[in-house]
Amino acid sequence: MGTGTGIGRVRGLGSAKSGAHHWWMQRVTAAGNLLLVVWFVLSIVRLPSLDYRTVTLWLSSPFVAVPLVLLVINTFYHFRLGLQVVLEDYQKESSKVAGLIAINFFTIGAGALAIFSILKIAFAGAR
Amino acid sequence: MARPRSRPLSPHLTIWRWGPHMLVSILHRATGVGLALGGATLFTWWLAAAAGGPASYARFLDLMTRDQPIGPDGLPLPGTAMLNPLPALILIGLTWAFFQHMANGIRHLVMDLGAAYELKTNKTTSLATIAFSIIATLLLWAWIFTR
Ligand code: HEM
Ligand code: HEM
């Protein structure tokens, strides 16, 4: 953001028009991760057991299901951006497109599965 | 290219001394990728197993844990399941990776504000992230294994 013409600096866009936004979202989701992942780790280790009943009962509370869905969105977005940076640092142009598609498939596929699973358990209620 | 050999070339890409800041830098990358691929996969697998119902969750738990002492009724005593060695190693590794990435992530955010670039401070904060991640991992797992 610190280089380029005056108007370029004001707009905060790099040559690809999305670098500054990417960088900023990496920081915003980092702050979100700090709250959500710490909450998740502490909650999990404090559950009395990880058997089926305890876990589904825990997940069926809205105050668990909602933050957990937010965690999936935030964390998956964060590592989606991060994996792209790593790929761009090492990959040759020719294989970059395939790599980016693989990252998107993995992030969106796993993210959708995780969110669907949380909601299914939450809506079914504890059994 | 003809170039006088005696002249020092600077800055040089292949001459540098290892320091904690480099270790922490590459660890941030390694732990980020490890958490993204390993952590997110295990997390999603766990949720999907639970969403699949008791039988699918039991299969997941069966892979991760083994039953401990057998009670008088011939069944394992409830609440005594132990993590298998490989899953335990992976989970301990993931918690360490998270703590390391978290501590250095916070250090990154501080440096984004323009602070902590002085050589000494930078070295101290690098070492602090390593100390934190190792101590936090040891404390957490000591607590898990002894409770
Ligand atoms: C407390 C939680 C976290 C904080 C404070 C945090 C912070 C950060 C920051 C500031 C960056 C940018 C580093 C740079 O620009 O060089 C980053 C990169 C990254 N993060 Fe996180 N993060 C957290 C959790 C996570 C989690 C849970 C994952 C994965 C599941 C993850 C995956 C990544 C990846 C893959 C990168 C890219 C690494 C690179 O470019 O070298 N982060 N993180
Ligand atoms: C053991 C030595 C080194 C390690 C472990 C290392 C590691 C890394 C890592 C993980 C990144 C990406 C994360 C980030 O952006 O913060 C990076 C970026 C970079 N490194 Fe290194 N590096 C080393 C030595 C060097 C040397 C000797 C130079 C140049 C003389 C250099 C120049 C750069 C540059 C220009 C970037 C890009 C910075 C940016 O994107 O803002 N690195 N390095």
Q: What is the mean pLDDT of residues A40-46?
A: 96
A95: left (phi over 0), alpha (psi -120 to 50) or beta: alpha
pLDDT averaged over every residue in chain A = 90
Report CA(A47)–ligand 2 centroid distance (Å). Answer: 41
What gap in Å lies between CA B69 and CA A22, rounded to an integer? 52
Cα dihedral B101, B102, B104, B109, rounded to 10, equals: 130
Between helices B20-34 and A62-90, what is the axis angle to 10°?
120
Residue range B119-139, pLDDT digits in tens: 999 999 999 999 999 999 999
CA angle A109, B49, B144 (to 5 degrees): 110
Which range (A84-88, A92-96, A115-119) has the least confidence?
Answer: A92-96
Sequence-ordered list of residues with C-beta below 8 angstroms from that of A120, at least 6 positions apart, any chain = B51
- Burial label, B73 (beta-carbon count in 10 A; 0-12, 13-18, 19+): exposed
Look at the pTM and tell me if it is higher than 0.80.
yes
* Index of the ligand 1 atom closest to the CA of residue A33: 2
| Ligand 2 in reach of B11 Cβ (< 6 A) | yes
Comparing C-alpha atoms, which of A94, A76, A96 is closest to residue A86?
A96
Residue range B66-81, pLDDT digits in tens: 876 677 777 666 656 6
| pLDDT for residue A2 is more than 60 | no
Looking at residue A1, what is its pLDDT? Answer: 46
Q: Does domain B21-38+81-146 have CATH number 1.10.3300.10?
A: no
What gap in Å lies between CA A78 and CA A73, rounded to an integer? 9
Q: What is the mean pLDDT of residues B89-107?
A: 98
User: Going from the N-terminus, what domains does chain A have, and what CATH number goes with each?
Assistant: 14-124 (1.20.1300.10)
Looking at residue B11, what is its pLDDT? Answer: 66
Among B40, B44, B144, the residue with its CB nearest the CB of A79 is B40
Looking at residue B73, what is its pLDDT? Answer: 74
| pLDDT for residue A57 is more than 80 | yes
B40 vs A: CB within 8 A: yes
Question: pLDDT band for position A13 (50/70/90)?
Answer: low
What gap in Å lies between CA B36 and CA B43, rounded to an integer? 10
Question: pLDDT band for position A117 (50/70/90)?
Answer: very high
If one residue of B14, B22, B23, B25 were mutated to test the ligand 2 pocket, choosing by the most ligand atoms within 8 A of its CB, it would be B25
Which range (A63-67, A77-81, B64-68) has the least confidence?
Answer: B64-68
Tokens of B144: 């898990």
Looking at residue B70, what is its pLDDT? Answer: 73
pLDDT averaged over every residue in chain B = 89
Q: Any known ligand binding at B101?
A: yes
